[in-house]
A = this chain, B = another copy of it.
């Protein structure tokens, strides 16, 4: 992957503060304060014509006068002066500029014009820009606090494995501050502001490759380049670095998705959701949900495949609560092995439980050896991939011993272990200190503890399965320019909205089965074609000007014989003429009728502004339109993914043969989904939307056929 080299943005050897102020309580004053307080090792140059010096540093009238090369300039001047200051930076050969100043695209049209000028400058010069309207960057390992957030009033900052890229400076640095107080260490934090040049994805890409960064977290409102995001997400999987996202803007889109049209169904937050799922990206709904996950993931973890959770608890009630959440989060709560159960029963009293969740009771807690023994027995059960220990009012000396036991067992075993210690700090702080100093993740709430574990296990399992797929099969569907001459000619010869016949021809050229059909220009041709196809047949008007054939009543189904055909042929043409007197009529399409045994499904494509072609699948009729029961994927879709699209809709059992129906041909269906995806990728510059509605899926072994389809070109 060819990326921008951000080395000197994150590790600048010298920093200039332009608009530096001697008032350390202001945006222009704080960066000097923070750089010094957090121990920046490079050179600092101040630029401000109003001062001779600030805090012992000489102050230069402009960046041009700075006597040495500058890697990073921090711009804290009024928005009106930003452009001229940047021109000087470019002239000086500064590599990067972080623009704190507000007053650009976020204020409206005038600001947008000004921001465009910054964009032009970045294109024209070698100066790369971060911001404007951002809060700067902190590199915690190398002690570069090139930002002005009050969160930097905390000293020392705690380095660690989390790299954080945020589109909101204020919320982002708040999260950083909260997470630091919860003991989460960070490698870098970068606030991206309006992203006039460098964007979130550029920074995420750098962090993924950084050796100190093992988890990347991002707060996101939206990204421009979905394809770049795809490459980065794939790279994250390759490196085995979890990518966690707090993406906002769900609700607005939720209401927009009201319409039943394919276009609306691929509305943007739905696309993000589909994409996150497809790429194993962890979506969190709250700041705390991220902190909870980071706490667990930072504590060191192995990628194991498996979602079987063991729960040990001192409270039956807390165990049920934890099990509820585990199951809802996609984890499995399985029975322990018979031998494990027998062994536990020798230790715990009769009113405890050796089922999973294991209720060890207060008695076990009170016996020095018993707790450790139960813990050791359960954690070694091969049916357990990870363990959550839920403690209630276990306090004092007893609590400290229990904490020590947990630390001991954890040091001996590879499986992820987390503790929910549901009690106030006053009585448990000594116990929690034991866990903390050994790096054992702990939580107050069993629910939050289990959810964090679910994120870890779901991610690890996804990543293992992804690796197996990548290693075993050439899953990547090829979509290089194999587009044939035939396809190009076909596309060139149609209007913006292609007719059913044209669309089906295109689909057929990609190997997608369509109904047998031919265009009849007159009654005689129609009779001959129907004879060849065999009755019953359907008639549909063929006109580039009539897209809604049913509305025009220019369609007749189930024509059983020649007499009916003659009457219907005239009828279809008459209705079409009445509906649209000026429409160009190519003739009437004579089409085979399919048996009634199939199930109607819909396959749609929408060429998303950011992510490119999105593939949609759902059952036909009310399922999509009323119930919005669809699955989405960003193309290209592999065969594996096509099967998972089919299986994830709520109505899947109808395809699998519910209510005495025959199971349908899901093999052929998955094949068509992949072919549609291939076609959508190849034609992504030509195609805006495709709506195959319906595709009839026949009983197992009998294949599928496109009955109607409509393609809209870009």
Which residues of A come within 8 Å of B, CB atoms?
102-103, 106-108, 111, 133, 149-151, 153-154, 166-175, 177-178, 180-181, 219, 221, 246, 248-252, 254-255, 285-288, 314-318, 320-321, 323-328, 333, 349-351, 361-362, 392-396, 422-427, 444-448, 622, 625-627, 629, 650-651, 653-654, 658-659
Q: How far is the CA of A107 from the CA of B345 in the complex (A)?
A: 12
Query: Are B445 and A288 within 8 A (Cβ)?
Result: yes
Chain B residues positioned under 8 Å from A627 (CB to CB)? 627, 629, 650-651
Query: Known contacts A107-B350, A150-B427, A350-B107; is A324 also within 8 Å of B251 by CB?
Result: yes
The chain B residue sitting closest to A314, CB to CB, is B170
If A315-B168, A626-B658, A627-B651 touch, whether A423 touches B351 (CB-CB below 8 Å) is no
Whether A251 pairs with B626 at a CB distance below 8 angstroms is no
> Which B residues lie within 8 Å of A106 (CB)?
351
Among candidates B171, B318, B326, residue contacting A318 with C-beta atoms closer than 8 Å = B171
CA distance A611 to B316 in the complex (A): 25
Q: Is the interface of A mostly helix, strand, loop or mixed?
A: helix
Is there an interface contact between B287 and A324, defined as CB atoms closer than 8 Å? Answer: no
| Set B149, B248, B252, B395: member contacting A317, Cβ < 8 A | B248
Q: How far apart are the CA atoms of A170 and B651 in the complex, in Å?
A: 42
How close is A158's CB to chain B, nearest CB, in angstroms?
A: 12
- Which residues of chain B are near A221, meaning CB under 8 Å? 317, 320
Q: Give A445 to B250 CA distance when docked, in angstroms.
A: 18
A322 to B, closest residue via Cβ? B248
* B658 x A625 contact (CB < 8 A): yes
Residue on B with the closest CB to A167? B317
Residues of B within 8 A of A154 (CB): 424, 426-427
Is B171 touching A315 in the complex (CB atoms < 8 A)?
A: yes
Among A175, A254, A629, chain B packs the most CB atoms within 10 A around the CB of A175
Residues A102 and B658 in contact, CB atoms below 8 Å apart: no
Which B residues are CB-close (under 8 A) to A361? 102
CA distance A424 to B176 in the complex (A): 9
Q: Could you tell me if B286 and A171 are in contact, using CB atoms closer than 8 angstroms?
A: no
Q: Sample 24 A-B pairs with CB under 8 A, ordered by A number.
A: A102-B349, A102-B351, A103-B351, A106-B351, A108-B350, A150-B395, A150-B423, A154-B426, A170-B316, A173-B393, A174-B423, A177-B423, A178-B444, A180-B424, A181-B425, A248-B324, A251-B324, A252-B323, A254-B327, A286-B447, A288-B445, A288-B447, A626-B651, A627-B627
Contact B424 A287 (CB under 8 A): no
Contact across chains for A219 and B317 when beta carbons are under 8 A apart: yes
A286 / chain B contacts, CB cutoff of 8 Å: 321, 445, 447-448
Q: A223–B622 Cα gap in the complex (Å)?
A: 40
The answer on a CB contact under 8 Å between A321 and B248 is: yes
Known contacts A150-B393, A426-B154; decide if A172 and B654 are in contact (CB<8 Å): no
Residues in B neighbouring A180, C-beta threshold 8 A: 424
CB distance from A305 to the nearest CB of B (A): 23
* Shortest CB distance A173–B (Å): 6
In the complex where A107-B351, A423-B178, A651-B622 touch, is A170 in contact with B393 (Cβ < 8 A)?
Answer: yes
Contact B393 A149 (CB under 8 A): yes
Identify A422's interface contact among B175, B285, B318, CB under 8 A. B175
Knowing A317-B168, A627-B651, say if A328 contacts B426 (CB, 8 Å): no
- A328 and B444 contact, CB distance less than 8 A: no
Contact present for B323 and A171 (CB under 8 Å): no
Tell me, in angstroms, the Cα distance from A172 to B314 when the chains sit together.
12
Give the contacting residue for A288; candidates B219, B425, B448, B650; CB below 8 A.
Answer: B448
